[in-house]
Structure 1
Amino acid sequence: MEYELSWLMVLLLVGTGIIAGFVNILAAGGSFLTIPTLMLFGIPADIANATNRVGVFLQAAEGIRGFRQRGMLEWHSFVAMMVPTLIGSLAGALLASYLDVAILEPVILTTLIAMAVLMVVKPSSFNPPQGSTPLSPWSSPSGFFGLLLSGIYGGFIQAGVGFVLIAALCGSLRYDLVRANALKMAATGVFTLVSLTVFILRGQILWIPGLLLALGSVVGAWLAVKFAVTVSQQVLRWFLLCVVVTVCITVWLQ
């Protein structure tokens, strides 16, 4: 398809990518910025949804590298997560390739509002007591289902999937927010690779806008990892709550 590549487009995509990369590492919802930005330039919603995955994947790769370098990513935990997230992501990507992404908007809004309420009413769901022993998804049905749902949702539309992953990892599997964010990025990288492969095979990726977003997203991810490992769990929880509320308002206004 045709689109006009101007300096304004370059700056806007890279700048939006930086913000989205930072937000996605610490919370989620960056795709609520990047997908509309792509659509500003006349890119259809389904192509924007597909193109957005380029930045998400490279941002996840940078997040994985950063957290692993600081000893915050537990690979044995990640391996246990792979089955439900991979199955879900393949199903979600196939749905996204053929269906209109707009059908998920009511589900997105309902999910985000529910999580915002849960964070206020029961903050321990996103910040388990210190010293809690993390669970394997194979010993936690709610954790397994949460990861499966995260994969389906992430494969379909990506936007806001980090909130679902954090709820499963902190609430059901009892990880603290820093390690949950590390595992969230690892899981995001896996199911984004699956969905990206589907979109590439179907010719739905616009590479130049996607790589410009990716450039900004990698910078944002690098900054966010440095921030995440130096602040308290309480600061991260309040940041997460603020992002959830902001995203809820954004989706509602749309």
Structure 2
Amino acid sequence: MIDALSTNASDLWPFILVGFGAQIIDGALGMAYGVISSTLLLALGLPPSRASASVHAAETFTTGVSAVSHILHRNVDWNLFAKLLIPGIVGGVAGAYLLSNIDGNVIKPFIQVYLLAIGIYLVWRGFRIPPKHKNPRLVAPLGLIGGFMDATGGGGWGPVVTSNLLLQGSSPRHTIGTVNSVEFFLTLSISITFLFHLGWETFTTYTVGLLIGGVVAAPFGAMLARHVAPRILLTSVGVVLTLTSAFGFAKWLGYIG
């Protein structure tokens, strides 16, 4: 088990690097910070509820910087933002409350398989079909489900919401920017819920490393989302989603320790 009180400055560097790399991917593609960071903390022995709480505490700051950066780069669709905000917060608070009281890993393998299939489709679509942008119709339910899965799994907002909005034809750049911006309010709500139910001891000093790396990287991720071609963004989202989902499912099967 991680001893939050025994760490020193040198112990934080690996977590700073992980936070930096994860936020670059998250800011540019709208997913992966929570998945990468949670996987690391769980591998080190932190229980799912504490790992999720630690990651969301760090994300409260990284997503704040990321949201400002995406707004400055004009990557946010405010109509889409309004449709996602409330359902996302409701789902996140509900998921954090349940994870504080029960094991939320039961449904994870089914979600991993679902996201794996979407990832493969997005890769195929990025290579074979020219992107045609249109306004997505199914938004609020995605926010609710994405917020719930994010809290229970330590990461899931981006994979669920970003991928499904892209599946409906939403602009990759504005989808990524909007989903990242809403995520600030989501992570803040989830962190407050975890704090209320689990207490301050939930948050380890490793959270500081993830936070520092993520905050430094956030502006660069937003810049990439603005300047990279839509087809490349779409394909990259599919690749990251496929790899992370396949890893999660393989771990559940026991092929990865």
TM-score range for the pair, normalised by the shorter chain length: 0.7 to 0.9
Amino acid in structure 1 at the alignment position of 2:209: L
Answering whether residue 239 of structure 2 is matched by residue 242 of structure 1, we say yes
Measure, in 2, the Cα distance between the counterparts of 1:165 and 1:218: 22
CA distance in 1, matches of 2:40, 2:132: 39
The 8 Å contact of residues 165 and 184 in structure 1, kept in 2 or not, is answered as yes
Residue 227 of structure 1 aligns with an amino acid whose one-letter code is: L
In percent, how many aligned pairs have the same letter?
A: 17
Instruction: Determine the C-alpha separation between the residues in 2 that align with 1:127 and 1:79.
Output: 28
Given the alignment of the two structures, is residue 23 of structure 1 paired with residue 20 of structure 2, yes or no? no
The answer (yes or no) to whether the contact 2:51–2:154 under 8 Å persists in 1 is: no
Give the corresponding residue for 2:3.
2
Cα shift readout 1:34-53 (whole Å, capped 9, x = no counterpart)? 12322454433321121111
Q: Which residue of 1 aligns with 2:222?
A: 225
Shift in Å, 1:165: 0.9
For 2:15, the aligned partner's letter is: L
- 2:38 corresponding residue in structure 1: 35
Matching of residue 216 in structure 1 with residue 213 in structure 2:
yes
TM-score by length of 1: 0.85
Give how far 1:7 is off: 4.5
Which position in structure 2 is the counterpart of 1:77?
80
Distance 1:33 1:171, change over 3 A: closer
Q: Which ranges in structure 2 are unaligned for 5 or more consecutive residues?
A: 252-257
Distance in 1 (alpha carbons) for counterparts of 2:186 and 2:125: 29
Q: Secondary structure at the match of 2:170?
A: coil
User: Quick one: structure 1 residues 198 and 127, their matched pair in 2 at CA, closer, same or farther if it must change by over 3 Å?
Assistant: farther
Matching of residue 187 in structure 1 with residue 189 in structure 2: no
Aligned length: 245
1:12 to 14, 17, 29: 14
Shift of 1:120: 4.0
Query: 1:97-118: per-residue Cα shift (whole Å, max 9, x none)?
Result: 1122322331232122121232
Distance 2:80 2:42 in 1: 37
Cα pair distance change 1:39/1:83, threshold 3 Å: closer
Please, what TM-score do these two structures have when normalized by structure 2?
0.84
| Residue 148 (structure 1) aligns with | 144
In the TM superposition, residue 92 of structure 1 has moved relative to its aligned partner by 1.3
Amino acid at match of 1:148: L
Unaligned residue ranges in structure 1 (runs of 5+): none
